[in-house]
A and B are shown apart, each in its own frame.
Chain A
Amino acid sequence: MRFLLYLLAGLAGGILGGMGMGGGTVLIPILTMFCGVPQHLAQSVNLLSFLPMAAVSLRVHAGNGLLDTKNILWMIVPATLLSALGGILVQGVAAGTLRVGFGAFLCLLSVYQFYTGIRAAAQERKGKGGG
């Protein structure tokens, strides 16, 4: 039963992520709010479950010629270092504190999503030629 609940949470997070909305950030609140998973564990499982998903989609994207690797090492190397440091930093942080921080992060991201959504809506309207 618990397995099924986790599976459904993964499905919901995966569908939204695959549609380009929120990515992994969706899965974490679903797991903590509806499945009672502790904050750190939810973050850990989100990182882990992203790996097989990324491997599958990268094969598809590479086949479609959508990968542009020019200069991306400049991004990957510092990002990898900082992510390990960030992970180490929060290991000692209390679950409640991390949850509050995550909530704030989620609010910031949603404001950005509002902005992209509204901008896209404006473009859709323009595309219809004022009709």
Chain B
Amino acid sequence: MKGTKGKLSLGAAGCAAGAVNGIFGGGGGMIVVPLLTSVGQKPPLVAHATAILVILPVSLASAIVYLVGGWFDAELFVAVSIGVVLGGAAGAKLLGSITPAAATVAFAAVMFAAGVRMMF
């Protein structure tokens, strides 16, 4: 990364990732990872790990906003959190951070369908 220009690019990237994370309640990491590899010039594994560190305070800040807005359900939170932590550990062990191309393409198709379904 070259000096001021690189830092400004990271700042601009951070603005985009943060705005998305706050508005849609997630997805900031999907933007941070490719930016850390391109602008930040970090290797893929490091980018994946570091993106979590970047998104942690960001998610905390927007989570507080949603909580203040009254969006909280204890049962939902406890159940989903247990599932996410267990599932996350299993998923990470299953495949590491490199996912086979075919799985990524298949998954993208499902996500696209879900997106269309939500729009109409």
Residues on A with C-beta less than 8 A from B93 are 18
Which single member of A11, A27, A85 contacts B26 (CB below 8 Å)?
A27
**Number of residues of chain B lying within 8 A (CB) of chain A:** 96
A120 contacts B114, CB within 8 Å? no
Interface of A, secondary structure class, is helix
The distance in angstroms between the C-alpha atoms of A50 and B87, with both chains bound, is 12
Q: How far is the CA of A31 from the CA of B81 in the complex (A)?
A: 13
- Distance in angstroms from A63 CB to nearest chain B CB is 11
| Chain A residues whose C-beta falls within 8 Å of the C-beta of B40 in the assembled complex | 68, 71-72
Interchain CB contact under 8 A, A74 and B14: yes
Q: Which residues in A have their C-beta under 8 angstroms from that of B52?
A: 54, 57-58, 61
Residues of A within 8 A of B (CB): 2-4, 6-29, 31-33, 37, 40-58, 61, 64, 66-69, 71-72, 74-91, 99-114, 116-118, 120-121, 123-124
Taking Cβ atoms with an 8 Å cutoff, the residues of B that contact A are 1, 6-8, 10-30, 32, 35, 40, 42, 45-46, 48-50, 52-67, 69, 71-73, 75-95, 97-105, 107-109, 111-112, 114-120
